[in-house]
Amino acid sequence: MRQISSLVQDPAFFEVLLRYDQDLAAKTREAGCPCGGPLHQAHYDRKPRGGACAGAAGSATATSRRLSYCCGRDGCRRRRTPPSVRFLGRRVYWSVVVVLVMALEIWVTERRYRFIKATLGVGRQTLARWRQWWREAFTKTQFWHLARAAFMPPVEVTRLPASLVERFCPRADDRDGLIALLAFLGPLTTLSASG
């Protein structure tokens, strides 16, 4: 539990996530719009919960900004939002919080719940929504239907996301593995794929 708390309070970790997102955004912008038009910046601010990122990339605002683009061609103006390792769709909590808290959720005692509530601000109703999403909505996405075939032996669906965390992060302090897991979930972070 304390490892999660220290991780989400570490500005250096959020700087790494921001740089990863910036790389994804650069690739999206280079690809341009499917109509052939140029992409212009259309970033927007988010107010994510569950972690402190002050100081990352110079300011908390830079870290909490969702990188996005808009087609510059008249008549199109289509938004192109790249995948993200910081945000998990429209959820208001950082993606790392949604993944790690739910990975521990099956072992949450009343004492651990109080710690989660006090340090991350995640309430019981939010935990229930996340549990339902991981066990029901996530497993029905086209992304999961295609991605689950890459795991052998198969990932235990009844233990999601803990079973995914175990595959990507063999050690509790494996930050690279955690970033790889967040990148794996990246296709779900765009509006079109998060259903």
What is the per-residue DSSP string for 59-82? SHHHHHEEP-EEE-STTT--EE--
pTM over 0.85: yes
Cβ-proximal residues to 166 (8 Å cutoff; 6+ apart), any chain: none
What is the predicted pLDDT for the residue at 70?
Answer: 96
Q: Could you give the residue ranges of the DSSP H alpha helices within 135-174?
A: 142-147, 162-168
**Residue where the block lists tokens 């959020």:** 14
Question: Is a pLDDT exceeding 60 seen at residue 89?
Answer: yes
Q: How far is CA 154 from the centre of its chain?
A: 22
Determine the average pLDDT of the residues in 67-73: 95
What band does 156 get if pLDDT is binned at 50, 70 and 90?
very high
Q: Is the pLDDT reported for residue 45 higher than 60?
A: yes
Name the band, by pLDDT with cuts 50, 70 and 90, for residue 54: very low
Find the range with the poorest average confidence among 45-49, 58-62, 115-119, 124-128: 58-62
- Answer whether 109's CB lies under 8 Å from 41's CB: no
Cα 83 from Cα 55, distance rounded (Å): 23
